[in-house]
């Protein structure tokens, strides 16, 4: 771990530098696969599934029998845990509903804003060793609350042509309308253009490796929206002497086990806490099954000592952490003054893993400093707002002249004319 004492402001940018990603050389491959899937549909998807996932599938669509089988394979304990998490996520995301906003801006001029669901959304869930069924909860639950009518989920099959039972169970539980066994670039291409099996969607959500990340970027060039730009996951903890060093170390390690490029930062006004956390990390690391991954991430991690809370919060705002744990006595100061963060975990009994799974907040969050301008996934991510206006005769008489003047000043005569015609009709 790298200890940094009192970094100067002009050095913050370097101190807080994130690992870079190399994506440019993937673009060619992505464009090729997109072009082929656009023309060839399911046949091409099956070919790539054979090539990349080493399995030959007759049917990409998950059947009711497969879902039934999955239900029997998930333990009752895990089902109950998933149900608890689902319930909390539902409560928090349902509370985010907003009603119609309506005002009469001028007498006779009614304006209102309404949110309506994005009709078709696609969720990508990676395969591999860790079946991220928790991400299905985070995406399908708000999609269902929003009222999206088509919720497609794509995930790569294993060599037996199956998806993990927990993935199937959770997808079925959360209202996914179609589960498709296809992964990688070809899955994103399928959702972008539509195939015989996959409906074309308007917005794609979900995590993925660098191939999926680049594919999602390219999808935006073909008229599809995505949840947010991606980057390695990251955690910043701010802790003073009121924190528990073992707890803090366990949080840093839970971030570090995600990948060797995970970012882990501790900011503290206490040198004792920094030293205590460093020792605890070394001890706890040894017991982790993913310790080789975590060790590499920890090697690049930073323990930053600053002299004041003010300095700490300025540094944190400069970084804009995805996950942000606040374990300090003066927590309100940090909560009130932090401008840029994805999700904030407050106090000694609020580990990041609570938000990853079951507190109710969403775990799809802006990385890479994007917390400065992007929201994490929330109910609104599955809605778009539309505006409406209805103007009466009285209303157009009240604001018509202003419109005429402004249109004229912008050199747009036809814009003016649309008002003049109406005003003249009312003078008769």
Q: Which residues are catalytic?
A: 322-323
Residue 124, annotated ligand binder?
yes
Residue 310 binding a second copy, by CB under 8 A: no
Of 253, 428, 216, give the one whose Cα is nearest residue 351. Answer: 253
Among positions 17, 29, 73, 81, the unique one binding a second copy when judged by CB under 8 A: 81
Residue 336, annotated ligand binder?
no
Give one word for 172, left, alpha or beta, with left for phi > 0 and alpha for psi -120 to 50.
Answer: alpha
Among positions 20, 22, 64, 387, the unique one binding a second copy when judged by CB under 8 A: 387
Among positions 84, 282, 283, 299, the unique one binding a second copy when judged by CB under 8 A: 84
Give backbone dihedrals phi and psi of 121, rounded to 5 degrees, phi first: -125, 150
CA torsion, ordered 161, 167, 169, 173, to nearest 10 deg: -130
Q: How many CB atoms lie within 10 A of CB 287?
A: 8
> Nearer to a second copy by C-beta: 116 or 271?
116
Least distance (Å) between residue 52 CB and a second copy = 21
> Nearer to a second copy by C-beta: 160 or 411?
411
Q: Restricting to residues 289-308, which ones interact with a second copy according to CB under 8 A?
A: 289-290, 294
Residue 380 binding a second copy, by CB under 8 A: yes
Least distance (Å) between residue 400 CB and a second copy = 8
**Under rule CB under 8 A, how many of the chain's residues touch a second copy?**
127
- Cβ-Cβ contacts under 8 Å for 391 (sequence gap 6 or more): 108, 109, 110, 399
* Cβ–Cβ < 8 Å for 70, 169: yes
Q: How many helices (H) and strands (E) does the chain have?
A: 17, 14
Least distance (Å) between residue 56 CB and a second copy = 27
Among positions 36, 71, 178, 372, the unique one binding a second copy when judged by CB under 8 A: 372
Residue 14 binding a second copy, by CB under 8 A: no
Q: Restricting to residues 222-241, which ones interact with a second copy according to CB under 8 A?
A: 223-225, 229
Three-state secondary-structure class, residue 112: strand
Least distance (Å) between residue 242 CB and a second copy = 14
> Nearer to a second copy by C-beta: 181 or 416?
416
Of 137, 113, 129, give the one whose Cα is nearest residue 355. Answer: 137
Residue 254 binding a second copy, by CB under 8 A: yes
> Nearer to a second copy by C-beta: 268 or 368?
368
Least distance (Å) between residue 48 CB and a second copy = 26
Indicate the burial class of 93 (C-beta count within 10 angstroms; 0-12, 13-18, 19 or more).
buried
> Nearer to a second copy by C-beta: 171 or 358?
358
Residue 10 is given by DSSP the state: G
Residue 72, annotated ligand binder?
no
Q: Restricting to residues 32-61, which ones interact with a second copy according to CB under 8 A?
A: none
Structure tokens belonging to residue 224: 């599809």
Query: Which span (207-215, 269-277, 300-308, 374-382) binds a second copy, by CB under 8 A?
Result: 374-382
Among positions 50, 51, 107, 348, the unique one binding a second copy when judged by CB under 8 A: 348
> Nearer to a second copy by C-beta: 60 or 235?
235
Percentages helix, strand, coil for the chain (3-state, rounded to 5) are 50, 15, 35
Structure tokens belonging to residue 419: 């008002």
Q: Restricting to residues 105-144, which ones interact with a second copy according to CB under 8 A?
A: 105-106, 109, 111, 113, 116-119, 129-134
Site map 395..414 versus a second copy, x via CB under 8 A = xx--x-xxx-xxx-xxxxxx
Of 336, 260, 365, 320, give the one whose Cα is nearest residue 13. Answer: 320
> Nearer to a second copy by C-beta: 11 or 307?
11
CA–CA distance, 215 with 31 (Å, rounded to integer): 8
Residue 145 binding a second copy, by CB under 8 A: no
* Cβ–Cβ < 8 Å for 181, 157: yes
- Cβ-Cβ contacts under 8 Å for 236 (sequence gap 6 or more): 265, 266, 267, 316, 319, 321, 323, 324, 325
Among positions 250, 270, 275, 300, the unique one binding a second copy when judged by CB under 8 A: 250
CA–CA distance, 21 with 258 (Å, rounded to integer): 16
Residue 352, annotated ligand binder?
no
Q: Restricting to residues 316-345, which ones interact with a second copy according to CB under 8 A?
A: 335, 338-345
The widest CA-to-CA distance across the chain, in whole angstroms, is 88
Q: Would you list which residues are annotated within the binding site for NAD(+)?
A: 124, 186, 209
């Amino acid at each position: 771990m790298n200890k940094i004492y009192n970094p100067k402001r002009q050095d913050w940018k370097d101190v807080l530098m994130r690992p870079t990603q190399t994506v440019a050389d993937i673009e060619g491959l992505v464009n090729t696969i997109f072009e082929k899937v656009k023309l060839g549909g399911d046949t091409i998807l099956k070919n790539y599934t054979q090539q990349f996932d080493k399995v030959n599938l007759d049917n990409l669509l998950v059947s009711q029998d497969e879902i039934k089988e999955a239900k029997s394979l998930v333990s009752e304990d895990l089902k109950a845990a998933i149900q608890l998490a689902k319930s909390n996520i539902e409560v928090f995301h349902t509370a985010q509903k907003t009603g119609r906003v309506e005002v009469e801006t001028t007498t006779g001029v009614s304006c209102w804003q309404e949110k309506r669901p994005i009709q078709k959304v696609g969720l990508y869930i990676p395969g591999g060793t860790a079946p991220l069924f928790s991400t299905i909860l985070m995406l399908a639950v708000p999609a269902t609350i929003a009222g999206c009518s088509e919720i497609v989920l794509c995930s790569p099959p294993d060599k037996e042509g199956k998806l993990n039972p927990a993935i199937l169970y959770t997808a079925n539980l959360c209202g996914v309308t179609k589960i498709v066994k296809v992964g990688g670039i070809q899955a994103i291409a399928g959702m972008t253009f539509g195939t015989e099996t996959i409906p074309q969607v308007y917005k794609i959500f979900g995590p993925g490796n660098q191939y999926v990340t680049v594919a999602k970027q390219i999808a935006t060039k073909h008229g599809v929206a995505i949840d947010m730009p991606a980057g390695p996951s990251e955690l910043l903890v701010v802790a003073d002497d009121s924190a528990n060093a073992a707890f803090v170390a366990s949080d840093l390690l839970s971030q570090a086990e995600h990948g060797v490029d995970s970012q882990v930062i501790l900011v503290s006004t206490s040198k004792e806490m920094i030293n205590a956390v460093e020792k605890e990390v070394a001890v706890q690391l040894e017991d982790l099954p993913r310790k080789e991954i975590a060790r590499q991430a920890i090697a690049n991690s930073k323990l930053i000592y600053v002299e004041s809370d003010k300095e700490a919060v300025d540094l944190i705002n400069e970084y804009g952490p995805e996950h942000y744990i606040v374990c300090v006595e003066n927590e309100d100061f940090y909560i009130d003054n932090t401008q840029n963060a994805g999700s904030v975990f407050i106090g000694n009994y609020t580990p990041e893993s609570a938000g990853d799974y079951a507190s109710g907040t969403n775990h799809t969050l802006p990385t890479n400093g994007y917390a400065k301008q992007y929201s994490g996934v929330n109910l609104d991510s599955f809605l778009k707002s539309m505006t409406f206006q209805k103007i009466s005769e009285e209303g157009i008489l009240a604001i018509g002249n202003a419109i005429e003047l402004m249109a004229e000043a912008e050199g747009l005569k036809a814009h003016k004319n649309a008002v003049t015609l109406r005003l003249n009709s009312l003078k008769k």
